Amino acid sequence: MHSLSIAVILIAAYATIIPSVGGFAARDASSRTRRPPPNRNRSRNPSQTVERKRAPHQFDHTKEEARPFLDNHLAVKEQLPNDDAPLYTFEDGNDTEQATIIPEGTHLMYFSLDELFPNIADLSLSQKFCTDGNFRNDLRSAMREDIFDSTPAYENMSEKARRILLLPDSSLQGSWRCKQGTLRMKRMTDVLKEYIGEQSPTGDEFMEAIGALCGSEPSSHWIDIVGVMNRRIPHSWHQDTGRSRGGDTKTVLLGFPKEDNYSGVGVFSHAVKLKYEKVSSKEHALDDSVVYSGLKVDDEYIVRPQFEQGNKN
């Protein structure tokens, strides 16, 4: 059966830790405000020099260090999934004997779109997704627009701000939860019908089917994460939440490869399979991520989930 890899990652409190990386909203250089050149003849008192402040993602490095990969595509292609990575245990002095051991085989699981929509398996939804870049791009754009336009926090934004936030190389947040009985994902519905046919699921059904993998009490948080290319950025290993709702909370990743018939890593976030639960204190907000900014993890423990048509690991 042709299938699309949907990586289901049990939330890190009970399974994995995932690297958090920065994102950015790009803008056309022609739209930037032009400023006059600085007056380089103006004298400056050294005692009045103000220390330069930098954003968290900024480094003191050379241009060569800022662009560590001359060919990002090749660098990713050379990485291995490392599916059989050993289980990781925190060396923080906690009494792990009292912590629940995470069952083998539950850290990373893969599902096919055809599995999620068995009634239309003959329409080869998974195969279409893997082999048609136009379909993937249109589906993602429609998903972003529908969620943006139905998220209350974005209601009063200007059209200019909307265009910037919806640029394909910017990350976007919202909720995947649709109100029952309403058609929220209208553009997405149109795209699915255009490429798959009248028997295709609606955009709402598509979102709910994937969201249902998140567990019995999902937060419904949705984020379209776009990687930052060609420059060095800091990252920190993190858990999406410190405690699991209902004991079965999962992080679900739907990967959009940049090329047709893709088989390899770099589509999904990296992960580390934990041997024991890592649960935050009750004082930690339930839906806030737990960041381990100083945590160094040896490469042997890092799993790079693979996107592949027919992946059934």
For 74-85, how does the pLDDT look when each residue is reduced to its tens digit (9 = 90+)?
Answer: 677 778 899 999
Helix (H/G/I), strand (E/B), else coil: 214: helix
- Dist CA 66 CA 72 (whole Å): 13
pLDDT of residue 303: 94
Q: For the chain, what is the mean pLDDT?
A: 76
Q: Mean pLDDT lowest for which of 41-50, 100-109, 248-257?
A: 41-50
- Provide the sign of the torsion angle of the four alpha carbons 293, 279, 109, 111, taken in this order: negative
- The confidence band for 35, taking pLDDT boundaries of 50, 70 and 90, is very low
Beta strands in 125-270 (DSSP E): 172-175, 221-224, 235-239, 250-254
Pair 293, 236: CB distance under 8 Å? yes
pLDDT of residue 266: 87
- Dist CA 18 CA 34 (whole Å): 39
- Dist CA 63 CA 65 (whole Å): 5
- The confidence band for 194, taking pLDDT boundaries of 50, 70 and 90, is very high
| Higher pLDDT, residue 97 or 63 | 97
For 76-99, letters b (16+ CB in 10 Å) and e give beeeebbeebeebeeeeeeebeeb
| Higher pLDDT, residue 24 or 46 | 46
Q: How many CB atoms sit inside 10 A of residue 164's CB?
A: 16
Maximum Cα–Cα distance across the chain: 75
Alpha-carbon distances, residue 240 vs 224, 246, 265, 291 (angstroms)? 14, 15, 21, 9
Alpha-carbon distances, residue 69 vs 62, 142, 307 (angstroms)? 14, 32, 21
Domain spans of the chain, in order of start: 69-299
Pair 14, 249: CB distance under 8 Å? yes
pLDDT of residue 32: 35
